Amino acid sequence: MVQPAQARCPAGRSRAGALSQSGLMSIGGDAIAVCEALMKWILIASGGAFGSVMRYWMQGAVQGLAGIGFPAGTVAVNVLGCLGIGLLAALFNGPFLVREEYRVGLTVGILGGFTTFSAFGLETFLLAQGGHLRLALLNILASCGLGLIAVWCGYRMGQYWFAAA
């Protein structure tokens, strides 16, 4: 079982020590809550950066392999992101205790940076605007349909894998 980490802030300092050195202790309120909030923001930002780099790499690699006018790279990223969030949802609802800041770092940070729904919207719009209505419709059906199927598959895989743990 994943256990919550000791009451430590980044860089290994105790929460109270890190906050008093940074001056955050003087703002009042619960110093531990402030440090946990900062940790969430750090995990979201670093996860988002990592997810964005992975999206850029994967989207380009898949699109290069596909070599067609259809945005296959974006579809692949969206489907993989949906599979990942389904798997994580099962993990978080299963037998493992995962701290909120790590859950948010993984879902909002990494997967938020990785999935490209806004790119999906723009690419679909540009296909339709360019007169490629069939490709635009295919993009909608592939991204939404395969995405929902991938969430379901990820969730079921997670239930199967994590139930035995």
The predicted-structure confidence for 75-99, as pLDDT tens digits, reads as follows 999 999 999 999 998 998 887 789 9
Residue 8 lies in a domain: no
**Cβ(80)–Cβ(86) below 8 Å:** no
Residue 139 belongs to some domain of the structure: yes
Domain total of the chain: 1
Q: What is the mean pLDDT of the chain?
A: 84
Domain limits at 147?
49-163
pLDDT at 122 > cutoff 80: yes
In the block, tokens 């919207």 appear at 121
- Decide: 43 and 102 in contact? Cβ < 8 Å: yes
Query: Does a structural domain hold residue 152?
Result: yes
Q: Any idea of the CA torsion for 86, 89, 94, 100, to the nearest 10 degrees?
A: 150
Q: What is the mean pLDDT of residues 152-163?
A: 92
Residue 26 lies in a domain: no
pLDDT at 1 > cutoff 60: no
Beta bridge partners, 8, equal: 14
Is 27 domain-assigned?
no
Cα distances from 78 to residues 71, 159, 161, in angstroms, run 11, 21, 23
pTM above 0.85, yes or no: no
Please give the helix or strand (H or E) that residue 60 lies within, else none. Answer: helix 31-66
Q: Is the pLDDT of residue 22 over 70?
A: no
Q: Is residue 11 part of a domain?
A: no
- pLDDT of the residue at 8: 43
Q: Within a 10 A sphere around the Cβ of 121, how many other Cβ atoms?
A: 13
DSSP labels, 29-50: S-HHHHHHHHHHHHHHHHHHHH
Grade residue 29 by pLDDT with cuts at 50, 70 and 90.
low
3 found inside a domain = no
Model confidence pLDDT, tens digit, residues 45-85? 999 999 999 999 999 999 999 988 899 999 999 999 999 99
Determine the pLDDT at residue 28.
Answer: 54
For residue 84, being part of any structural domain is answered with yes
The DSSP annotation for 66-82 comes to H-SSS-HHHHHHHHHHH
Confidence grade of residue 164 (pLDDT, cut at 50, 70, 90) = low
Specify the higher pLDDT residue, 39 or 163: 39
